A and B are shown apart, each in its own frame.
Chain A
Amino acid sequence: MAVAGEVEFDSERPSRGPLALATRRLLRKKIAVAALVFIGAFYFCGLFAPVVAPHSYTAQNLDTVNQGPSLSHPFGTDSLGRDMLSRVIWASRTTVVVTVATLLTGGLVLAVGLGLLAGYAGGKVDTAIMRVGDVFFALPGLPMLIMVNATLGARIRGMGWLVAIEKALRIEGFPDYVVVFGALSLFAWVGGARVIRSQVLALRETEYVTAARAMGASTWRIISRHLLPNVSNIVIVGLSTSLGAIAGTEIALSWLGVGVQPPTPSFGPMLFEGGSIRTLQANPHLLLVPGVIVAGLMFSFNLLGDALTDVLTPHAR
């Protein structure tokens, strides 16, 4: 990943200029706007699912099973008569929670935090973090995730304090989410950390930073004023491109049965139910509804990632 070549290094306002510029350029690309709109709608539904969804994820009606789209059920019903539109909205909530949580913990806290630390502190700290990272990086991702979720998942879900938080924050399925995004973060932070670290290593020796250090600026000030703004572009591009992968992995894990557990909603089980070849012949909407939405989401993430890369790292075309 190339360094952003046009950062105006203003020690008073380090990052407001280029960011606004970048945003304006982004918005000029029609495709990016379309992608942003789709993602925005998706995340809106996810966040406000209890309000937006006409029915709950589990409300069933055994008299109206497997119906195609209709006025009362715009996306039809499934094998238990549950409203597909509502289920999709509730499932988007899981995707939203998992992606945001993983980004925050795995992305920001772990990748950015550890990358900054390793790059700036250097020496033994750097080696230690990188070696640990080597191990995690070498672990085969999907099998490890499956393992962790299948074996430790049950234990973690049962932990008292997680259940207490679930009750307090009224987020159903909170322990499930913790298991999934915890595992995802744990196995995904290394790549980002390495990139950030190499950036920091390069930046550390620039005149600005050396001068700042000579002037006695505190470590925190250096990091926040000089290092962070310069890595922020990479961070943003990296985060947006990994959103798709994170969402996809959660759906894949849940499809296998080792992600979130019912009744916590997720696109994985919906795709599983609709995907059996026989179901597909009889009731194609059971696969197509979640399938098109998930494909659309991934598509939008990819488009957005592309556009962001274009905008924030102009030499990388």
Chain B
Amino acid sequence: MQGLLPYVVRRLLWAPVILLAVSFIAFTITRFGPGDPVRVAMGQYSDPAALERVRHEEGLDKPLLQQYGIYLKNLAQGHLGESFTYRNRDVAEVIFPKIWVSARLGLVAMLIVFAIGVPLGVFAALKQGTWSDPFSIGILLFFQSVPVVVSVPLMLLVFVLKLHWLPAAGWGGVFDSRIVMPALAISLPGIAVVARLTRATTLSVLREDYVRTARAKGLREFTVVTRHVVRNSLLPLVTIIGISLATLVEGAFFAEYLLGVPGIGQFAVKSVQGRDYNVILALVLILTTTFIIANIIIDIAYTIIDPRVRYERQRLG
């Protein structure tokens, strides 16, 4: 673990620089777009005088860099600004409940992905040679390929309208049945990925250790196999967590939209279209920060799991 601490420190020091760059990019992109939140808020009544007056009141007529400076100053004090969509509401109070909803949905989906994916993968590996191996992999691959925007309406049709097993829309927290549909829809592609990966690693492990452990008896063989399987598949699985997160976030967008889940997905699109600058910036910053932290954690996990990985100057990527 020699170079780990300085490595982490270096990464953490870089993070604010990256965040700054990201915030600046997001700041300018939104303001480059035509229109502004005040005009959107005005709706069908257009009065240039009123527009100018309110824009001035909100500080939108100042030069770009000055606006950015003011934003940074507020950010340093912990203020994310006010939303333009929901007038006079703090961005924080607008988006945090939504982020919390999406986060829980994402976590449940992740749990499903691993809870179903890993055993499925092991099963497929054990059944290699029989028809159930390529068959199950094929099915999984197909599920991975169906886009969320297709699978959700189909699931709605089958599970809600035809079978009446599940409620139609809305959100009631994690233990409410309304989470089943969106969580399932989002996790399907991930299950396939994890299962295939688990299968691959299980296969390689079985191949390696099988001869030796064949001599062990009963329980011990089982324990040895599972222990080795776990250690060897942890590394790629940890990588997969990172990728899965991204896929989950993207899938969540559409699932939320289609199933009426009050998460961050459809609100993000709405904010972009409404040019709600402060909300957009906050979202970008939060997502980026999460991403950076997640990556650092994954990298740390790498070292813990595989001591051969070293973090020195030459670390690639």
Tell me, in angstroms, the Cα distance from A272 to B257 when the chains sit together: 11
| B33 proximal to A (CB < 8 A) | yes
In the complex, are the beta carbons of B316 and A134 less than 8 A apart?
no
In the complex, are the beta carbons of B317 and A197 less than 8 A apart?
yes
Contacts of A238 in B (CB 8 A): none
| A52 proximal to B (CB < 8 A) | no
Contacts of B32 in A (CB 8 A): 151-152, 155
The interface centre, meaning the residue of B25, B284, B316 with most chain A CB atoms within 10 A of its CB, is B316
Residue of A nearest to B34 (CB): A154
Q: Which of A7-15, A59-67, A83-91, A276-284 is found at the contact surface with chain B?
A: A276-284
In the complex, are the beta carbons of B29 and A148 less than 8 A apart?
yes
| B4 proximal to A (CB < 8 A) | no
Q: Which of B51-59, B70-78, B145-153, B223-231 is found at the contact surface with chain A?
A: B145-153
Contact partner of B154 (CB less than 8 A), chosen from A139, A143, A195, A280, is A280
| A248 proximal to B (CB < 8 A) | yes
| B303 proximal to A (CB < 8 A) | no
In the complex, are the beta carbons of A248 and B147 less than 8 A apart?
yes
In the complex, are the beta carbons of A252 and B288 less than 8 A apart?
no
In the complex, are the beta carbons of A280 and B250 less than 8 A apart?
no
The minimal Cβ–Cβ distance linking A309 to chain B, given in whole angstroms, is 11
| A100 proximal to B (CB < 8 A) | no
| B120 proximal to A (CB < 8 A) | no
Residue pairs across A and B with Cβ atoms less than 8 A apart, 11 shown, are A151-B34, A151-B275, A152-B29, A194-B316, A256-B253, A276-B153, A277-B161, A294-B147, A295-B142, A302-B144, A303-B141
Tell me, in angstroms, the Cα distance from A274 to B283 when the chains sit together: 30
The interface centre, meaning the residue of B14, B18, B246 with most chain A CB atoms within 10 A of its CB, is B18
Q: Would A139 and B144 be within 8 Å (CB), given that A151-B272, A276-B153 are in contact?
A: no
Residue of A nearest to B286 (CB): A140
Contacts of A299 in B (CB 8 A): 141-142, 145
Q: Would A142 and B154 be within 8 Å (CB), given that A151-B29, A275-B258, A295-B147 are in contact?
A: no
Contacts of B268 in A (CB 8 A): 143, 146
Contacts of A256 in B (CB 8 A): 253, 269
Contacts of B147 in A (CB 8 A): 248, 251-252, 271, 291, 294-295, 298
| B30 proximal to A (CB < 8 A) | yes
| A135 proximal to B (CB < 8 A) | yes
Closest 4 A-B residue pairs measured CB to CB? A151-B33, A298-B145, A140-B287, A291-B150
In the complex, are the beta carbons of B153 and A277 less than 8 A apart?
yes
Q: Would A138 and B18 be within 8 Å (CB), given that A198-B316, A252-B147, A303-B141 are in contact?
A: yes
Residue of A nearest to B14 (CB): A134
With A154-B34, A198-B317 given, name 14 new contacts (CB 8 A): A138-B18, A138-B288, A140-B284, A140-B287, A140-B288, A150-B33, A155-B33, A201-B316, A252-B147, A252-B250, A274-B153, A280-B157, A287-B150, A295-B147
In the complex, are the beta carbons of A255 and B145 less than 8 A apart?
no
Q: Which residues of B contact A (CB under 8 A)?
A: 14, 18-19, 21-22, 25-26, 29-30, 32-34, 141-142, 144-147, 149-150, 152-154, 156-157, 160-161, 200, 203-204, 246, 249-250, 253-254, 258, 268-269, 272-273, 275, 280, 283-284, 287-288, 291-292, 316-317
Contacts of B142 in A (CB 8 A): 295, 299
Contacts of B26 in A (CB 8 A): 139, 144, 147
| A28 proximal to B (CB < 8 A) | no
Contacts of A138 in B (CB 8 A): 18-19, 22, 288, 291-292
Q: Would A147 and B29 be within 8 Å (CB), given that A140-B288, A291-B150, A298-B147 are in contact?
A: yes
Tell me, in angstroms, the Cα distance from A147 to B31 when the chains sit together: 11
Residue of A nearest to B153 (CB): A275
Residue of A nearest to B11 (CB): A134
Per-position binary interface string of chain A over residues 174-215, scored 1 when its CB falls under 8 Å from any chain B CB and 0 otherwise? 000000000000000000001101100100000000000000
Contacts of A280 in B (CB 8 A): 153-154, 156-157
Residue of B nearest to A141 (CB): B246
